[in-house]
Amino acid sequence: MSSLVKYPKTMLQKSRFVTALWFLLLFVSLVPRAEGFMEVIHFDKESYEPGESGVFYVDITSSPSDPTLYFTQLEIFFDWGNYWTSGVIVVNPGGRETISVRFSVPSSVSAGSHSYYYKLTWSLTASLQNLKTSTSSSLTITIKEKGFVFRWEFMVLIVAVSIGIVIGVFVSKSKEQKERKK
């Protein structure tokens, strides 16, 4: 008879544990979190020259289970200076937004690889309480030597001059041949 008493007590303990586990899982799934958003970064160009300006973009994608996110600032820190943009960008659950910041490369910056990192400031509330920051690790950007850029306009000019030279040589030779025949 005593073994019958222990069995229901053990079952009762197991059912309490399972119930507590279910409540814990339910609570964790309902707590708002922002770790699910994804950042993809890119520049408007592959490399820059001293004296040029550019744009740095951060594409933010939120998963459908994330809460609404309120991004307030994007800062980029180059080894030659800092640039930022501010304002509120709202990313709804399952949404995608792009934040950008303009920057310039001073003429005094040398060619080569330069380090930078960026920082996003955001909140889970529209009142922007409890601001959080997300900072990237150190990344690199390429600055190339300032010089002549081989553009398509220059290619057209080279082709046109080349065709002109070929036509000039051809016309000149044909005139010489006509004069020899006379």
* Structural domain includes residue 64: yes
* Structural domain includes residue 73: yes
- From the CB of residue 114, how many other CB atoms can be counted at a distance below 10 Å? 17
Distance CA 161, CA 21 (A): 80
Regarding whether 65 and 3 lie in a shared domain, the answer is no
Question: What local confidence, expressed as pLDDT, does residue 19 receive?
Answer: 56
Regarding whether 129 and 48 lie in a shared domain, the answer is yes
Q: What is the pLDDT of residues 23-82, one digit of tens each?
A: 444 343 334 444 568 889 999 999 999 999 999 999 999 988 888 999 999 999 999 999
Regarding whether 53 and 20 lie in a shared domain, the answer is no
Give the pLDDT mean for 144-158: 69
Regarding whether 125 and 43 lie in a shared domain, the answer is yes
Q: What is the reported pTM? A: 0.61
- From the CB of residue 134, how many other CB atoms can be counted at a distance below 10 Å? 16
* Structural domain includes residue 48: yes
Query: Residue 5: pLDDT above 60?
Result: no
* Higher-pLDDT residue of 82, 135: 82
Regarding whether 139 and 122 lie in a shared domain, the answer is yes
Regarding whether 129 and 57 lie in a shared domain, the answer is yes
Distance CA 135, CA 119 (A): 4
Distance CA 137, CA 159 (A): 46
Regarding whether 8 and 82 lie in a shared domain, the answer is no
Q: What is the average pLDDT value for the chain, to the nearest integer? A: 80
Question: What local confidence, expressed as pLDDT, does residue 34 receive?
Answer: 45
The answer to whether 57 and 103 are in contact (CB under 8 A) is: no
Residue-range definition of the domain harbouring residue 54? 38-143
